Amino acid sequence: MTRKKIIWISSIVVILLLIIIAIIYYINNRIVIDNTSFTLVDDLNVNIYSVADASDFVEQIDGEIISSDEIDTTRLGEQTVSFLYLNKDNKKRKGVFEVEVRDLESPLVWLGNSYSVPVNSEDDFIDSIMCADNYDSNPSCTVEGSYDLSTVGSYDLKFVAKDSSNNESIIDFTLYVYDNTNIDSSPQENNDIVVTNFEDVLNDYKTDDTEIGIDVSKWQGEIDFTKVKEAGANFVMIRVGSQQGVGGEYILDPYFEENIKKALDNDLKVGIYFYSYADSTKEAEKQADWVLKQIDNYDITLPIAFDWECYSFFNQMELSLFGLNQVAESFLEKVEKEGYDGMLYGSKNYLNSIWKYHDYDVWLAHYTDETDYDDEYVMWQLCQNGVIDGINGMVDINILFRNI
């Protein structure tokens, strides 16, 4: 046999061996779909906008889960999801099944057990009651029962809110129609004004891990920041401006430039907030651009906060709660792209009920000695009746829980 033929046959043998090895490797290591080694929970529905993955639906498994698909909960409908696991023989297998993303949440109605309007009011009080849905931008919101806004009295009614998935919220409430001509509008003396002393907050809350400061706007008027600094404040959140209502212009706070220059001259850390009426992501992005332009020449070391509190206008904006969160995220994403920290401002109740779909730091407003807000926050506005040397009047006092 010639040398050439030997080489040719040897090459074929080597190739065949390599093919056999590859086949054996594939057989031993291929990921086979195997739904026999686990059981699923009975309910394979997942709520829209929630955080979930395939492993959340595995009730029992004869093996160990090693990876799992995240479920896209931003769209309704059925989805095929899977996860990888090692079975009892230590073989890699894939579990595959169907889940359905549904809107499982009832609309939110911001209403207590009573609501009051003056006699002879326009019959539009329903529009003033915040009625919102996590998914729908226009849930059905109606009042059931009889009432007469031209007649003083009380009326027992039901507020009914329903979304397109037939989730329903029903609130029983009493509508009070009152005669405002009989209300005593004369000034009332109050000699028991309660204030919170900055020095007391400093003593109670200042630690190695906290800083104590204030937030200010035109409402504080002329501020002596030298005295503010000497009183023990480490930082100040300054309102850069506000929007004049829904669709309105952006107005620079008349004290902004004076406040920020004097605060920085006194070595106070500075953050910024903007009071917004944004009703779209486009509007929020424009506001962020405007804010960035105003602060371009200043050393901002603390976050830029998005302050949206126009809940009485929410019904006319045609937004879902998820959509409102996207508005805030658009503002904050814009400022963070420019190298600043973004922060969402909100009170405890609104943070719990409305601001649920964002990934940004929180500035909590909760006027109490000890907050029971459960989620994370980096700043806490604990009062609005603070007094500090350097400001003639009251001011909000804040605790910062990280050094930036």
8 Å CB contact between 268 and 225: yes
Q: Is 286 left (phi over 0), alpha (psi -120 to 50) or beta?
A: alpha
Look at 34-38, 186-190, 252-256, 334-338 and tell me which has the smallest mean pLDDT. 186-190
Rounded Cα gap, residues 269 and 299, in angstroms: 9
Short-list 308, 309, 228, 212, CA closest to 267: 228
Q: What local confidence, expressed as pLDDT, does residue 124 receive?
A: 84
pLDDT in tens, 186-207: 555 656 789 999 999 999 999 9
- Say whether pLDDT at 322 is over 70: yes
Q: Which residue has the higher pLDDT, 7 or 334?
A: 334
Short-list 167, 118, 122, 117, CA closest to 141: 167
Confidence class of residue 110 from pLDDT cuts 50, 70 and 90? very high
Sequence-ordered list of residues with C-beta below 8 angstroms from that of 159, at least 6 positions apart, any chain:
109, 111, 126, 129, 131, 141, 142, 143, 144, 169, 170, 171, 173
* Cα torsion 16, 17, 22, 26: sign: positive
- Say whether pLDDT at 134 is over 80: yes
Q: What local confidence, expressed as pLDDT, does residue 402 receive?
A: 77
8 Å CB contact between 381 and 396: yes
Tell me what percent of the residues of the chain surpass a pLDDT of 90: 85
- Say whether pLDDT at 104 is over 60: yes
- Say whether pLDDT at 26 is over 60: no
pLDDT in tens, 51-88: 999 999 999 999 999 999 999 999 999 999 999 999 99
Rounded Cα gap, residues 6 and 2, in angstroms: 6
Q: What local confidence, expressed as pLDDT, does residue 123 receive?
A: 80
Cα angle 314-320-323, degrees, rounded to a multiple of 5 = 100
Instruction: Please spell the DSSP secondary structure of 185-233, one letter per residue.
Output: -S---------EEHHHHHHHH--TT-EEEEEE-GGG-SB-HHHHHHTT-
Q: What local confidence, expressed as pLDDT, does residue 125 receive?
A: 87
Q: How many CA atoms lie within 13 A of 142 on its CB side?
A: 7
Q: Which residue has the higher pLDDT, 24 or 170?
A: 170
Confidence class of residue 122 from pLDDT cuts 50, 70 and 90? confident
- Say whether pLDDT at 3 is over 70: no
- Say whether pLDDT at 19 is over 80: no
3-class state of residue 339 by DSSP: coil
- Say whether pLDDT at 25 is over 60: no
Tell me what percent of the residues of the chain surpass a pLDDT of 70: 90
